[in-house]
Amino acid sequence: MMQVGTQSVALRRDGANLALATLFLGMFVWGSGELLVVGLLNRIAGDLRVSIPAAGVLVTAYALGLAVGGPVLTALTIRLDRRAILVGALALLVVCTLVPVLTTSYGLFVAMRAVVGALHGLFVAVGFVLATSLVAPERMGRAISVVVSGLFVSTALGVPLGTRVGQVLGWRGSFTAVAVLGVAALVATLLLIPAAPGSGGGAASQARYAFAPRVLGALLVNVLAFAAVYSALTYVVPFLTDVTDVSDGMVSVFLLAYGVATAVGSLAGGRFADRNAARTLVVGAVGVAASLLALQLVGTVAVLVAPALVAFGLFAMGMVPSMQYRVVSLAGPGGQLASSLPAAAANMGIALGAYAGGLAYGAATASAPVLTGLAIAVIAVLAAWGAAFLKPPVAPAAAEPAAPASATGEAA
């Protein structure tokens, strides 16, 4: 039996695996839609007759919507049935993705990207809570890794394929393809995700746990880790072309290797999260720092840069399941609201890292963002080590647990 709030539903192992696969598909759709703009930025700018920086605002609007709107929507919907939330979010994703396809308004496009970003944050939060309720407690990390890997598989496969579709059919064709995938995920959610009543406690009662100092300490690790990664990753193409002297055609091969490594790392990271999430974050941060140091030392040797990039992707995204696991665990009874915070923290780290890397790149050479990322990674190691001593709260007996009790049939 699976406890959800005060109610329970029977769910066999095969049903749990199908539900997790559905959540994976949903995450794949959201990830593809989020990053598609990056690959089609020039075409969108030309079609809408705006500058490249103006088109880049579409990326910023999405990130801000996710970081700010995601937690807000999670708080507002915390008592609603979780499957209903996922269905509603996917239905709105389809609509908000098609609106820019059918209009030529730049302002409306920006607004829709912000709305979809907020819905993305909501889907991530509810999806993680639902995923962890489908499995035994000792397999929660693996359930998280299955779901989050949908985002990284979209980076490795969905975005390149969507970009190619855009090159052939135009950017509107790519966005239409995302909407079609959204419909498929919506149908699968209706058929394969069980009804799951929302939290018995409201957002106010969960907030004091979700925003407790111990949770904020864990979120700081998220911010620093993503800042370290994206300080270097944002400017990895100039690094490959200017420092490693890789041809334009080979850059995509290096990026594909990194993308595959992130997908593998996110899946494998779930098992380590189940064993010891706090230790995994320390090891992951050390691995990121070591990978960036290797990139700096062997950056001129292409045959050595490739494995360094693979290790970078494995360690960086191998931490993600543990990030989610630790935040929700440390939040205790506020776990459902807290489940929206790692994504917000990650986007804050991405923004800070990209900004810091940009400053370094503008002031020095193409390798400067790697050194900047390395410096931030060292700080992240110290933060992860300190956060490893944080303990979950001892909640009152009447309080609802952070994650619903598991199904008797194991999955993931």
| Residue spans per domain, the chain | 1-202+399-412, 213-392
Assess contact for 63 and 226: CB atoms under 8 A.
Answer: no
Please, which residues have CB within 8 angstroms of residue 301's CB and are 6 or more apart in sequence?
244
> Residue 268, exposed/middle/buried by CB under 10 A (0-12, 13-18, 19+)?
middle
Helix ranges (H only) for 299-367 are 302-318, 320-331, 335-338, 341-363
pLDDT at 403 over 50: no
Question: What does the block give as tokens for 248?
Answer: 């334009």
How much is the mean pLDDT over the chain? 83
Q: What is the pLDDT of residue 13?
A: 62
Distance (Å) of CA 210 to CA 8, 172, 277, 326, 368: 24, 39, 18, 12, 37
Distance (Å) of CA 136 to CA 107, 271, 380: 46, 13, 31
More confident: 77 or 138: 77
Instruction: Please state the rounded mean pLDDT for residues 155-176.
Output: 79
Q: Which of 287, 297, 271, 269 is nearest to 225 (CA)?
A: 287
Give yes or no on whether 1-202+399-412 and 213-392 have one common fold. Answer: yes
Distance (Å) of CA 169 to CA 32, 93, 166, 394: 17, 21, 5, 56
Q: What is the pLDDT of residue 9?
A: 38
Q: What is the pLDDT of residue 291?
A: 96
Assess contact for 338 and 209: CB atoms under 8 A.
Answer: yes
Secondary structure of residue 78 in the 3-state scheme:
coil
Cα 238 to Cα 245: distance, rounded to the nearest angstrom: 9
Q: What is the pLDDT of residue 97?
A: 94
Residues of the chain above pLDDT 70, percent: 89
pLDDT at 138 over 90: no
Class of domain 1-202+399-412: mainly alpha
What tens digit of pLDDT does each residue of 12-27 get? 566 778 888 999 999 9
Per the confidence metrics, is the pTM higher than 0.85? no
Q: What is the pLDDT of residue 4?
A: 36
Instruction: Please state the rounded mean pLDDT for residues 370-385.
Output: 95
Which residues are registered as beta bridge partners of 4? 7
Please, which residues have CB within 8 angstroms of residue 22's CB and are 6 or more apart in sequence?
185, 188, 189, 192, 193
Radius of gyration of the chain, Cα coordinates, nearest whole angstrom: 20
Distance (Å) of CA 281 to CA 102, 226, 321: 44, 12, 10
Question: What does the block give as tokens for 285?
Answer: 């941060």
Specify the CATH number of the domain 213-392. 1.20.1250.20
pLDDT at 404 over 70: no
Beta strand 2-4 pairing with 7-9: antiparallel
What tens digit of pLDDT does each residue of 290-331 get? 999 999 999 889 999 999 999 999 999 899 889 988 998 898
Cα 353 to Cα 348: distance, rounded to the nearest angstrom: 8
Cα 343 to Cα 114: distance, rounded to the nearest angstrom: 15
Provide the Cα torsion 225, 118, 35, 304; round to 10°: 10
Give the largest CA-CA distance in the chain.
62
